[in-house]
């Protein structure tokens, strides 16, 4: 079955030919009522076509997004930016899962926090117990995290 490629972290050289392919596919298949078809599914369709991959192949076969076959495009593993699946987003903000969640992020370049779901989760917990989010933010974004911590009255929402 098709392995979906995320559209959240992408980098291309100016004028890379696959960018035109993304735009042509978007123009041909845009669906304003379905976010997924315009983002990750669009990226997946274009990559599969560019790489000559079989969309019906299982995940093991899909691993072969080889830059030589794909016009120089490399596809990084999910853990690179999405180590915590969207269904488990609460683990980033739950002090009882801090250590496990941090272990899952060790091989990541960045950690997507699933803002649509987590937008009301407090990044500073009232009990002050560390969460994976607070550890990652204070380590990798100390200035912004410090400003946010100093302005505690701006903490978003309540813990769901």
**What is the mean predicted confidence (pLDDT) over 17-40?**
90
Handedness of CA 84, 86, 91, 93 (dihedral sign): positive
Query: CB-side exposure of 33: number of CA atoms within 13 Å?
Result: 0
Mind listing the pLDDT tens digit for each residue in 42-99?
888 898 888 887 666 655 444 557 788 888 888 888 899 999 999 999 999 999 999 9
DSSP state letter for 8: S
CA 111/CA 126 separation, integer angstroms: 23
Same domain (yes/no): 71, 84? no
Same domain (yes/no): 71, 85? no
CA 18/CA 32 separation, integer angstroms: 22
Kindly state whether residue 7 falls inside one of the protein's structural domains.
no
pLDDT of residue 22: 93
Same domain (yes/no): 65, 97? no
Kindly state whether residue 10 falls inside one of the protein's structural domains.
no
Kindly state whether residue 1 falls inside one of the protein's structural domains.
no
- pTM, rounded to two decimals: 0.75
Same domain (yes/no): 60, 115? no
Same domain (yes/no): 58, 100? no
Report how far apart the first and last C-alpha atoms of the chain are (Å, whole number): 34
Same domain (yes/no): 42, 58? yes
Query: 143 lies in which domain range?
Result: 80-154
Last residue of a domain, one of 34, 52, 75: 75
Same domain (yes/no): 69, 91? no
Q: Which positions ≥6 away from 60 have C-beta within 8 Å?
A: none
Same domain (yes/no): 67, 92? no
Same domain (yes/no): 44, 57? yes
DSSP state letter for 75: -
CA 155/CA 124 separation, integer angstroms: 7
CA of residue 149 relative to chain centroid, distance: 25
What is the pLDDT confidence band of residue 11, given thresholds at 50, 70 and 90? Answer: confident
Same domain (yes/no): 31, 58? yes
Kindly state whether residue 50 falls inside one of the protein's structural domains.
yes
Same domain (yes/no): 133, 147? yes
Q: Is the pLDDT of residue 7 over 80?
A: no
Query: How does the average pLDDT of the chain come out, rounded?
Result: 83
- What is the CB neighbour count within 10 angstroms for residue 138? 15
Mind listing the pLDDT tens digit for each residue in 103-150?
999 999 999 999 889 988 877 665 678 999 999 999 999 998 888 777
Kindly state whether residue 2 falls inside one of the protein's structural domains.
no
Kindly state whether residue 64 falls inside one of the protein's structural domains.
yes
> In the numeric block, which tokens belong to residue 71?
């016009």
């Amino acid at each position: 079955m098709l392995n979906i490629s995320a559209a959240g972290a992408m980098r291309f050289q100016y004028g890379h030919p696959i960018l035109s392919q993304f735009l042509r596919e978007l123009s041909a298949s845009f669906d304003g009522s379905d976010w997924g078809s315009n983002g990750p599914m669009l990226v997946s369709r274009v990559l599969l076509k560019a790489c000559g991959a079989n969309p019906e192949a299982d995940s093991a076969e899909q691993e072969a997004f080889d830059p030589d076959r794909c016009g120089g495009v490399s596809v990084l593993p999910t853990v690179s930016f999405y180590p915590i699946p969207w269904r488990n987003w609460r683990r980033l903000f739950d002090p009882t899962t801090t250590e496990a969640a941090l272990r899952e992020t060790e091989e990541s370049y960045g950690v997507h926090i699933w803002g649509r779901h987590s937008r009301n989760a407090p990044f500073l917990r009232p009990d002050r117990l560390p969460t994976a989010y607070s550890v990652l933010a204070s380590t990798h974004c100390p200035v912004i995290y410090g400003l946010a911590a100093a302005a505690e009255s701006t903490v978003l929402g309540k813990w769901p």
